[in-house]
Amino acid sequence: MFPPDESGDRPAGSPSTDSSPADDGSPTPDDATDSHEALMRATYRALCEHGYADLTMADIAAEADRSTSLLHYHYDTKEGLLVAFLDYLFDEFGDAMEGSESGDPVERLTTLIDRLLSGPPADGGPFADAPPASDGFHTAMLELRAQAPYVPAYREAITGHDDYLHALTVEILEDGMDAGVFHERNPDVVAATLLAAARGDRVRSLVLGDDSTTDAVRQGIEQFVLADLLVDDAADRFGDETDPADTEDTTTTGSDE
């Protein structure tokens, strides 16, 4: 999460995981990990309740049942703590995607698309013991993303995650092409299109409080991107999710315009 630099020192603002053996009564690495995860869950709950703009270190400390001074010992600023939270979220997303890999490129791609359009599941994941992911939390994350042009640390974390998503999508596409279930297409172009469609719909849903277009965006991805991508046998396996009548209706409507 906070990779050491070449000297082995941790980056400024990151939590210390240095610990001594347990038999002298001092914290162990497992204790440090548990404490860090508890703090990340507390940050999640505080974001759900207060949003990004009104969030303070005191809010997070209260949720974590810790003193504000202790938080400042590990993180100089709210920005530093939220960068750690972003890293934690993105690491968990990567772990979840790796855990869902079936080896089937079609299934992996559809799982990724569903996750991007619908967001994380309301139950399970790193916040299984916290309130379900709410509109307040997702709006707070959108606010945080909006700060990226002005806060280099946010921009670096978010750019790294976006690069990971693009690379993951390209990897799935290339695996499918190698396996003969996807037609040969430019994987960078397909990945950029899929991710832009999913992100655009998520932003619209949050900004307007209206997710009525999500199903239409999913159908559009299936009918105009996946239908072109999948070879016949793979399309037959996937075809149950796409009604040919929907494709015909959409095409007719488009030609009338």
Percent of the chain whose pLDDT exceeds 70: 69
Average pLDDT over residues 136-157: 90
Q: Please tell me the distance from the alpha carbon of residue 219 to that of residue 213, in angstroms, as a whole number.
A: 10
Q: Is residue 46 included in any domain, yes or no?
A: no
> Residue 201 is part of a domain; what is its CATH number?
1.10.357.10
Domain tally, the chain: 1
Residue 18 has pLDDT above 80, yes or no: no
Contact 181, 213 (CB under 8 A): no
Q: Is residue 211 included in any domain, yes or no?
A: yes
pLDDT, residue 82, reads 95
pLDDT, residue 9, reads 42
pLDDT, residue 117, reads 87
Average pLDDT over residues 169-176: 96
pLDDT, residue 164, reads 94
Percent of the chain whose pLDDT exceeds 90: 48
pLDDT, residue 211, reads 87
Q: Is residue 37 included in any domain, yes or no?
A: no
pLDDT, residue 229, reads 94
Residue 220 has pLDDT above 60, yes or no: yes
Q: Is residue 100 included in any domain, yes or no?
A: yes
pLDDT, residue 236, reads 59
Contact 147, 89 (CB under 8 A): no
Q: Is residue 53 included in any domain, yes or no?
A: no
Residue 19, φ and ψ in degrees, nearest 5: -155, 160
Residue 3, φ and ψ in degrees, nearest 5: -65, 140
- Which domain does 120 fall in, by range? 79-242
Q: Is residue 142 included in any domain, yes or no?
A: yes
Q: Is residue 127 included in any domain, yes or no?
A: yes
Q: Please tell me the distance from the alpha carbon of residue 149 to that of residue 146, in angstroms, as a whole number.
A: 7
Angle between the 78-99 and 29-50 helix axes, to the nearest 10 degrees? 100
Q: Which of 80-94, 110-124, 217-231 has the lowest mean pLDDT?
A: 110-124
Q: Please tell me the distance from the alpha carbon of residue 94 to that of residue 100, in angstroms, as a whole number.
A: 10
Q: Is residue 251 included in any domain, yes or no?
A: no
Average pLDDT over residues 224-248: 64
Structure tokens at 13: 């603002």
Residue type, 161: H
**Which of left, alpha, beta for 103 (phi over 0: left; psi -120 to 50: alpha)?**
left
Q: From the CB of residue 32, how many other CB atoms can be counted at a distance below 10 Å?
A: 15
Does the model's pTM come out above 0.75? no
